[in-house]
Structures are given as C-alpha cells and as structure tokens.
Amino acid sequence: MLAVRPVGAADHAGCAPPAVIVAVLVTLAAALGGGCAAASNPGPDPGAASGPNAVVVRVVDGDTVVVAVGGREESARLIGIDTPETKRPDTPVECFGPQASDRLTALLPPDTPVRLELDQEPRDRYGRLLVYLHRTGDGALVNQVMLREGLADALSIAPNTAFTEPFAAEVTAARAGGVGLWGACPGPHAAP
C-alpha cells in the first residue's frame, strides 16, 4: 500500500494538529491508497512514494482533472498554477485557454497512472483535491510542465506553498522567452 505524505507539513514539536485536520488527512490518505499520513515532513519529497496512487479519468480544463482514487472518482485541482479559463460560466474563453486544456489532455490521457502529492490543505472550498500531480511513467511533475511550457501562471495560495519558488522561476523563464501564452496574449487572463 502507498502512503500519501503531505508536503511541507510543519513539525509541531510533539503537538498534534486539531483532530478535525487529522481525521481529514487520515481519510484522504486511505482514499489515496491506504497507509498513514506522516505527522511531520520537512518539505517536498517527490520520491517519497514513487508508485501510482490514482489513475486519470479525464481532463476538465488546463488545471483540473478527474482521477480514480480508492475506487471512486475525485476532482483534483493542480496546486500552484492557474491556466486561462475555458469553462467558467458567464465568462468568455480566455487567450490560450484551449491550448492549456489541450496540452493537459495530451500529458494526461485517460488511464494514465499518476501519483497525487498533497500539501498542507488537502481540499479547496469546492471540495476538489489540491495536488501536485506526478506522471508515474516518467516522474514528470505536471504542474511544473504546464508552467515551463507557458500554459499557466504561478498561483501561490497559503498554506499550499511547497513549490512556490521553483514554480515562480518557471514562469519567469517562460515570460522571458515569450513561451506559450506569454508570447501570444496580453496577459494570463486576457480575452483572445
């Protein structure tokens, strides 16, 4: 069985986090393949559990996928990135949004085995899992690939900030090189 370890979990010096957080993390760890979540973690450890703990069902848009985890489907939002919108109600499709969705679909076709890595907060206000998504075939951190290829802007929302610095560096390089949306659009959330 694979254990899901939240990245960047603070060492509470012997103090247990609130019971509600523990219950959520234990439930999520069981859903993502069993085992116990580590009580403390000194930071990102992409090699901690290298095998898959989920399978891609479908891509929703450039930063959201549906995965099969523990026998059920879960919506998963990629942490640390923000792609142009393609499906927000009452909002026009944004510049490079279709390209971001198409690229994520190419990176993650149905049945792709993946490893979901959590940070401090396991779900967003919409109930989606918040994940760093690794393809198990080649170990690629998909969140980072989307930034590197100029298909997303970095989005750092505390407390899920384990990869803030490397993600910001990817955006800086993509902007400087005019890669993807940075060469084709006036900004990351502009109309085409």
Q: Which residues are catalytic?
A: 77, 85, 128
Helices (H) and strands (E) in the chain, counts: 5, 7
Cα(144)–Cα(161) distance, integer angstroms: 13
Tokens of 189: 């959330």
In one letter, which amino acid is 47? G
| Residues 6+ positions from 23 with CB-CB distance below 8 Å | none
Contact (Cβ atoms closer than 8 angstroms) between residue 191 and residue 95 = yes
The type of residue at 175 is R
